[in-house]
Structure 1
Amino acid sequence: MIVCLDSGNSRIKWGVHDGTGWLAQGAVTHDQPECLTQLLIDWPQPERVMLANVAGAEAYARIRRQLAPWHAVWCDVKSSPAAQGVSNLYDAPERLGVDRWCALIGAWALHRSPAVVVMAGTATTIDTLDAAGRFVGGCILPGVGLMLRSLAGGTAGLPFADGQYSPYPRCTDDAIVSGALEAQAGAIERAFARLPGDAGICLLSGGYGNRISPCLAIPHQLADNLPLEGLRQIARQV
């Protein structure tokens, strides 16, 4: 049994895998790390615990403290030049965000084909895998929530919008939300258009994936918790 932990900017996502399938998945916020201790009760004897952390040293220390009984089987995952069939062509491979790296490995395990891999969370990352499993590059833009907050905080007359997507918005809240979602979809579609041939796929993961999905005019698939799948794949070679 393997426990996988993806410590992102806003939440700590976790999953438990028995080698056949995911037994359970969930998430806790960074201000409630004590909720992780329930994992010790529910899954007391994992063979390995895999952590990908991009939330900084303090968050890392809190997670380690809450899960101290598992330290003997702990593995801190870092980005590397290659893993599980995926090659990392970043100029400095170790500087690629480990959540992005794990998501790419998870995507390659699910679909061994050219892919645009989108993580739609606090930030949105749009990364490209070629047909040989090489990560050829990607971009980062503010996530939907950050876009909405930036307009509310940086302008005098615009609210924090609670609108709905519409191709032709007719109120301010809808116009703001639709603009943020159109910006996300446009960046994703541009990356997808650069894939060679017509065999590629777009995999969409992260908390805002469900909101972006209806706006996309390209073939795509919602893929929950890609970093957890990547962590599981990496655990096989540790």
Structure 2
Amino acid sequence: MRILELDAGNSRLKWRLLNKGQVISNGFLANSEDWQYELPRLFDQIGRVDSARASIVSGDERFTLLSAAVNQHFNVSLLKAEVKEQWRGIQVAYSGLGVDRWLAMLAAHHVGGAEHKESSSKMVVSCGTAITIDLLSGSGNHLGGYIVPGVGLMKRMLHTRTAQLPMVEAEALTMTPGTSSADCINNGILAMAVAMINTQQSQYKAAYGKECVIYLTGGDATLIQPYIHGECFHHPSLVMDGLGLAFEEEG
């Protein structure tokens, strides 16, 4: 069974192809690219597909475009993940939760191998266009979360909403005080992102007497991870790992 998985985020369309449950190829398209032109080229390279499923946070228009392209090229329907209030051990805290956050929590709750601690509380952090934080109890209850601008978005906001501050493209290398405007922006934004996550870890420990296991995903995860306190794992494909769980029957 060859399954195409799609994660349509605010900046990129990430994709991967599974064959018998194993990832055999993957990549991404930027949202700024011409999907009408790029999708047929990409799908030609992918080859045969027996099933397709997607996480969509970039709008209904994107899903309509993707669904039509998948159906036309592979003659299969594109399944769209939808948040369920209670599913596979996860109980969401409120309606209107983003599907990408739900999928990431599903995957974090079911991560296998040596790092799986079913009774452990978890903090699921996506470091993308936005930084989102979701807290999960060991039993799978969603305790709520946070949404703030991501590292790149904060840089663009400072540049576009101020008269003289530069746009900084390079990644920050440290959180020490900057000695130029560019360094002050870069290091300061990284320090803010890191402090946001570490503060939630400290608050959780103060409230419950134990730390969360932190699961990081998103494009800036590797930038942020070295500064995170406590047990922390980087899972680049956490959202797509949740897609399979979203469509599996509970058993």
Q: 1:182 & 1:231 partners in 2: Cα distance?
A: 32
Moved more, 146-155 or 190-199: 190-199
Aligned residues: 234
Q: Is the counterpart of residue 158 in structure 1 residue 156 in structure 2? A: no
Q: What are the superposed Cα offsets for residues 36-82 of structure 1, whole Å, 9 maximum, x if unpaired?
A: 33235524132x21111111122112212321234644311111112
1:205 to 196, 217, 241: 217
Structure 1 residues 62-71 or 151-160, which shifts more?
Answer: 62-71
Q: CA deviation at 1:2?
A: 2.1
1:50 to 30, 49, 53: 53
After superposition, residues 81-92 of structure 1 pair within 5 angstroms as 81-90=85-94, 92=95
Instruction: Give 1:233's aligned residue.
Output: 245
Q: Is 1:143 the equivalent of 2:147?
A: no
Superposed, 1:23-42 pairs within 5 Å as: 23-30=24-31, 31-33=33-35, 34-37=37-40, 38-39=42-43, 41-42=45-46
1:172 corresponds in structure 2 to 181
1:75 and 2:74 are equivalent in the alignment: no
CA contact under 8 A between 2:3 and 2:49: conserved in structure 1? no
Query: How far did residue 134 of structure 1 move?
Result: 1.4
Tell me how far 1:199 sits from its aligned partner: 5.5
Q: Which runs of 5 or more structure 1 residues have no equivalent in the other structure?
A: none
TM-score (norm 1): 0.90
Task: Give the AA of the match of 1:222.
Answer: H
C-alpha separation in 2, matches of 1:198 and 1:191: 12
TM-score by length of 2: 0.85
Q: Secondary structure at the match of 1:183?
A: helix
Distance 1:13 1:116 in 2: 23
The answer on whether the counterparts of 2:67 and 2:78 sit within 8 Å (CA) in structure 1 is: no
Distance 1:71 1:8, change over 3 A: farther
> 1:60 — aligned with what?
63
SS in 1 for 2:110: helix
* In 1: Cα distance, 2:181 partner to 2:62 partner: 37
More relative contact order, 1 or 2 (CA 8 Å, 6+ apart): 1
Secondary structure of the structure 1 residue equivalent to 2:126: strand
Contact 2:103 2:242 in 1 (8 A): yes
Determine helix, strand or coil for the equivalent of 1:45: coil
Cα deviation code 1:152-197 (max 9, x no counterpart)? 1111221112453322322221110111111111111122221534
CA distance in 1, matches of 2:152, 2:241: 25
Find the aligned partners of 2:108 and 2:125 in 1 and give their Cα distance: 10
CA displacement at 1:19 relative to structure 2: 4.0
Question: How big is the alpha-carbon RMSD for the aligned residues of Structure 1 and Structure 2?
Answer: 2.0
**Code of the aligned partner of 2:105:** L
Aligned amino acid, residue 137 of structure 1: G
* Equivalent position SS for 1:6: strand
- C-alpha separation in 2, matches of 1:71 and 1:103: 28
* Contact in 1 for aligned 2:71/2:78 (Cα 8 Å): no
Give the share of equivalent positions with the same residue, in percent: 28
Deviation at 1:216, TM superposition (A): 2.2
Aligned-partner SS, 2:83: coil
Asked whether the 8 Å contact 2:131–2:149 carries over to 1, the reply is yes
8 Å Cα contact 2:151-2:190 kept in structure 1: yes
CA distance in 2 between counterparts of 1:71 and 1:99 reads: 26
The alpha-carbon deviation at position 207 of structure 1 amounts to 0.7
